[in-house]
Amino acid sequence: MSTENKKLLTLKSKDLEVFEIDEAVAIQSQTIKHMVEDGCADNAIPLPNVDGPTLAKVIEYLKKHAEDKQGKKDDEDSLEKFDKDFVNVEQDLLFDLILAANYLNIAGLLDLTCQAVADMIKGKTPEQIRKTFNIKNDFTPEEEKEVRRENQWAFE
Protein backbone atom coordinates (compact mmCIF):
# COMPACT_ATOMS: atom_id res chain seq x y z
CA MET A 1 0.00 0.00 0.00
CA SER A 2 1.57 3.30 -0.98
CA THR A 3 1.79 6.14 1.49
CA GLU A 4 -0.54 8.44 -0.44
CA ASN A 5 -3.32 5.82 -0.38
CA LYS A 6 -3.24 5.49 3.40
CA LYS A 7 -5.87 7.41 5.27
CA LEU A 8 -5.02 8.19 8.88
CA LEU A 9 -7.59 8.22 11.65
CA THR A 10 -7.13 10.04 14.93
CA LEU A 11 -8.23 8.21 18.06
CA LYS A 12 -8.61 10.02 21.38
CA SER A 13 -8.53 8.04 24.62
CA LYS A 14 -10.54 8.89 27.72
CA ASP A 15 -7.47 10.58 29.22
CA LEU A 16 -7.20 12.66 26.01
CA GLU A 17 -4.14 10.90 24.58
CA VAL A 18 -4.20 11.15 20.80
CA PHE A 19 -3.13 8.36 18.45
CA GLU A 20 -2.87 8.44 14.67
CA ILE A 21 -3.44 5.09 13.01
CA ASP A 22 -3.97 3.85 9.46
CA GLU A 23 -7.65 3.40 8.68
CA ALA A 24 -6.95 -0.11 7.33
CA VAL A 25 -5.51 -1.04 10.73
CA ALA A 26 -8.20 0.70 12.79
CA ILE A 27 -11.20 -0.83 11.03
CA GLN A 28 -10.36 -4.22 12.50
CA SER A 29 -12.40 -2.72 15.31
CA GLN A 30 -16.03 -3.04 14.29
CA THR A 31 -16.89 -0.02 16.46
CA ILE A 32 -14.42 2.18 14.59
CA LYS A 33 -15.38 0.64 11.25
CA HIS A 34 -19.03 1.62 11.79
CA MET A 35 -18.02 5.15 12.81
CA VAL A 36 -16.01 5.47 9.59
CA GLU A 37 -18.90 4.10 7.50
CA ASP A 38 -21.31 6.52 9.19
CA GLY A 39 -19.04 9.49 8.47
CA CYS A 40 -18.20 10.09 12.12
CA ALA A 41 -14.44 9.82 11.68
CA ASP A 42 -13.65 13.20 10.11
CA ASN A 43 -12.28 14.55 13.40
CA ALA A 44 -10.70 12.67 16.27
CA ILE A 45 -12.71 9.60 17.25
CA PRO A 46 -13.37 9.79 20.99
CA LEU A 47 -13.00 6.50 22.85
CA PRO A 48 -14.31 7.40 26.32
CA ASN A 49 -14.08 3.85 27.66
CA VAL A 50 -10.39 3.26 26.85
CA ASP A 51 -7.41 4.90 28.56
CA GLY A 52 -4.19 5.84 26.76
CA PRO A 53 -1.91 2.99 27.84
CA THR A 54 -4.58 0.41 27.03
CA LEU A 55 -5.32 2.01 23.66
CA ALA A 56 -1.59 1.93 22.84
CA LYS A 57 -1.56 -1.84 23.51
CA VAL A 58 -4.72 -2.33 21.43
CA ILE A 59 -3.11 -0.45 18.53
CA GLU A 60 0.01 -2.61 18.86
CA TYR A 61 -2.21 -5.70 18.52
CA LEU A 62 -4.13 -4.25 15.56
CA LYS A 63 -0.95 -3.29 13.70
CA LYS A 64 0.59 -6.74 14.11
CA HIS A 65 -2.57 -8.48 12.98
CA ALA A 66 -3.02 -6.08 10.04
CA GLU A 67 0.53 -6.89 8.87
CA ASP A 68 -0.31 -10.56 9.09
CA LYS A 69 -3.47 -10.12 7.00
CA GLN A 70 -1.54 -8.14 4.37
CA GLY A 71 0.88 -11.02 3.91
CA LYS A 72 3.78 -9.32 5.70
CA LYS A 73 4.04 -12.17 8.15
CA ASP A 74 7.14 -14.26 8.73
CA ASP A 75 5.13 -17.37 9.56
CA GLU A 76 2.14 -18.54 11.59
CA ASP A 77 4.34 -19.27 14.61
CA SER A 78 5.52 -15.66 14.87
CA LEU A 79 1.94 -14.39 15.21
CA GLU A 80 1.15 -17.08 17.80
CA LYS A 81 4.28 -16.09 19.72
CA PHE A 82 3.29 -12.41 19.48
CA ASP A 83 -0.20 -13.23 20.84
CA LYS A 84 1.23 -15.32 23.68
CA ASP A 85 3.67 -12.56 24.65
CA PHE A 86 1.00 -9.89 24.16
CA VAL A 87 -1.23 -11.27 26.95
CA ASN A 88 1.69 -11.84 29.30
CA VAL A 89 0.96 -8.57 31.13
CA GLU A 90 -0.15 -7.40 34.55
CA GLN A 91 -3.64 -8.54 35.53
CA ASP A 92 -5.05 -5.01 35.61
CA LEU A 93 -3.89 -4.33 32.05
CA LEU A 94 -5.23 -7.70 30.89
CA PHE A 95 -8.66 -6.84 32.29
CA ASP A 96 -8.49 -3.36 30.70
CA LEU A 97 -7.66 -5.04 27.37
CA ILE A 98 -10.72 -7.27 27.72
CA LEU A 99 -12.93 -4.25 28.35
CA ALA A 100 -11.36 -2.34 25.44
CA ALA A 101 -11.68 -5.30 23.06
CA ASN A 102 -15.33 -5.65 24.02
CA TYR A 103 -16.04 -1.92 23.66
CA LEU A 104 -14.18 -1.66 20.36
CA ASN A 105 -15.66 -4.95 19.14
CA ILE A 106 -12.37 -6.64 18.22
CA ALA A 107 -13.31 -10.32 18.30
CA GLY A 108 -9.79 -11.72 17.96
CA LEU A 109 -8.43 -9.61 20.81
CA LEU A 110 -11.43 -10.39 23.01
CA ASP A 111 -10.99 -14.12 22.38
CA LEU A 112 -7.26 -13.90 23.06
CA THR A 113 -7.57 -11.97 26.33
CA CYS A 114 -10.48 -14.03 27.65
CA GLN A 115 -8.56 -17.21 26.86
CA ALA A 116 -5.63 -15.85 28.86
CA VAL A 117 -7.91 -15.38 31.89
CA ALA A 118 -9.45 -18.84 31.36
CA ASP A 119 -5.93 -20.31 31.33
CA MET A 120 -5.23 -18.54 34.64
CA ILE A 121 -8.28 -20.28 36.15
CA LYS A 122 -7.89 -23.73 34.59
CA GLY A 123 -7.14 -26.49 37.06
CA LYS A 124 -7.33 -24.30 40.15
CA THR A 125 -9.42 -24.72 43.23
CA PRO A 126 -11.91 -22.00 44.20
CA GLU A 127 -9.50 -20.89 46.92
CA GLN A 128 -6.60 -20.60 44.43
CA ILE A 129 -8.82 -18.63 42.03
CA ARG A 130 -9.83 -16.24 44.82
CA LYS A 131 -6.16 -15.70 45.68
CA THR A 132 -5.17 -15.18 42.00
CA PHE A 133 -7.85 -12.55 41.42
CA ASN A 134 -7.97 -11.09 44.96
CA ILE A 135 -11.60 -12.14 45.45
CA LYS A 136 -12.92 -12.06 49.01
CA ASN A 137 -14.93 -15.13 50.01
CA ASP A 138 -18.24 -13.68 51.15
CA PHE A 139 -19.80 -17.04 51.99
CA THR A 140 -20.02 -18.20 55.58
CA PRO A 141 -18.59 -21.70 56.06
CA GLU A 142 -22.16 -23.04 56.24
CA GLU A 143 -23.20 -21.29 53.02
CA GLU A 144 -20.11 -22.56 51.22
CA LYS A 145 -20.78 -26.10 52.40
CA GLU A 146 -24.37 -25.83 51.09
CA VAL A 147 -23.23 -24.50 47.70
CA ARG A 148 -20.69 -27.31 47.40
CA ARG A 149 -23.37 -29.87 48.30
CA GLU A 150 -25.87 -28.46 45.76
CA ASN A 151 -23.24 -28.30 43.01
CA GLN A 152 -21.23 -31.40 43.81
CA TRP A 153 -20.82 -32.16 40.08
CA ALA A 154 -18.65 -29.05 39.70
CA PHE A 155 -16.18 -30.20 42.34
CA GLU A 156 -15.62 -33.73 40.98
pLDDT tens digit sequence for 107-149: 999 999 999 999 999 999 888 999 999 999 888 989 988 988 8
What is the percentage of the chain residues whose pLDDT exceeds 70? 92
Q: Write down the pLDDT at residue 22.
A: 95
Q: What is the 3-state secondary structure (H, E, C) of the chain?
A: CCHHHCCEEEEEECCCCEEEEEHHHHCCCHHHHHHHHCCCCCCCEEECCCCHHHHHHHHHHHHHHHHHHCCCCCCHHHHHHHHHHHCCCCHHHHHHHHHHHHHHCCHHHHHHHHHHHHHHHCCCCHHHHHHHCCCCCCCCHHHHHHHHHHCHHHHC
Give the mean pLDDT of the chain.
90
pLDDT tens-digit profile of 41-73? 888 999 999 999 999 999 999 999 998 777 665
Residue 76: its pLDDT value, please? 67
